[in-house]
Structure 1
């Protein structure tokens, strides 16, 4: 259901929680300059007004780079600012209802956590891609159950939809995920904490070019 001109493959940058909106935009711009073309706005700290302001700024920035912008867990915000889609967790609303609101052109992602049984219902509900994690210990969600490389391989062989891996991913531990057939590497810390964000984004994109 995703637009064909926006392939769901490559580095999937997820914004870190930060009180500094100016720094956030600068860091995202660096990631986009490095070749990242898929961004998820995730914000668990800001109030609603600040989230709207940041989301609108990110919409303008991603549009300038012809990049895809998805909103984490907030369908209303995605619709309000004209995002390319939304990513929903298991407790963030009905996928089928979100698909009906988004229409066929915008992107809907679904968290399947560490349970392959979640994938079929997610796709039946209209998800364009399925995300599994945490694949490695994650500083963002340290208590998250682990989604193994074997689970990713099974998901890749069992479902045609793009496969996203998330949780503790770094350049060093990404190769086994690529070998398992992952289409999207969702990264927060290893990207936005890098001394050169643009260079780090380019390194991730090179993984997909070599695959």
Structure 2
């Protein structure tokens, strides 16, 4: 499955929720138009079971499921790829283990040089952020919208923006160069289907 060129990138919010709740919320976001889902879970109870269910739900909508941090979990459940942060291992190792068809994304924070290096090593997309205050990553360093613009000019792969993005502020990131908006609380703190539609509308003004 290919990584989408534009749209809403939904990231799970499993804290203090049952597997059924997480699955129901993700299915609602998919119904609302999310074009890619990342399973992010810092304290999983049964990551294999939940990731497997999410994969089935995503594929019913022809949407790829990526796993945050864990190449091992991606391999175990047959996910479409992984997202790698700064402490999650090397891109080349992930590519070797997951194969040429896997989607691999890399967090680049506010670092255009890191993004260029990731692109040169075969990343499928790069992510920058945080752009606004974020409950999910309150200590993350801020990123500059000018970084999105430079990345759009210099890189030939999709650019993801993350961090405190709401329907009210996402449009300025798209205008600056973001191809996808990665969102956790903005979707799952509310009614996910309605929220997802509000984000998707930013891509079709």
Regarding TM over 0.5, the answer is: yes
CA separation in 2, counterparts of 1:64 and 1:156? 31
1:65: how far off? 1.4
CA separation in 2, counterparts of 1:65 and 1:177? 26
Matches within 5 A, 1:105-144: 105-144=101-140
Matches within 5 A, 1:1-211: 3=2, 6-19=3-16, 20-47=18-45, 50-194=46-190, 196-210=191-205
How big is each residue's C-alpha offset from its partner over 1:96-142, in whole Å with a ceiling of 9 and x where there is no partner?
11112222212000000121121121112221100001111111111
Gaps of 5+ in 1: none
**Cα RMSD, aligned residues only:** 1.2
Normalising by the residue count of structure 2, what TM-score does the alignment of the two structures yield? 0.95
Gaps of 5+ in 2: none
Runs of 4+ in 1 over 3 A off after TM superposition: none
SS of aligned partner of 1:209: coil
Normalising by the residue count of structure 1, what TM-score does the alignment of the two structures yield? 0.93
**8 Å contact kept, 2:4–2:35:** no
How many aligned positions are there? 204
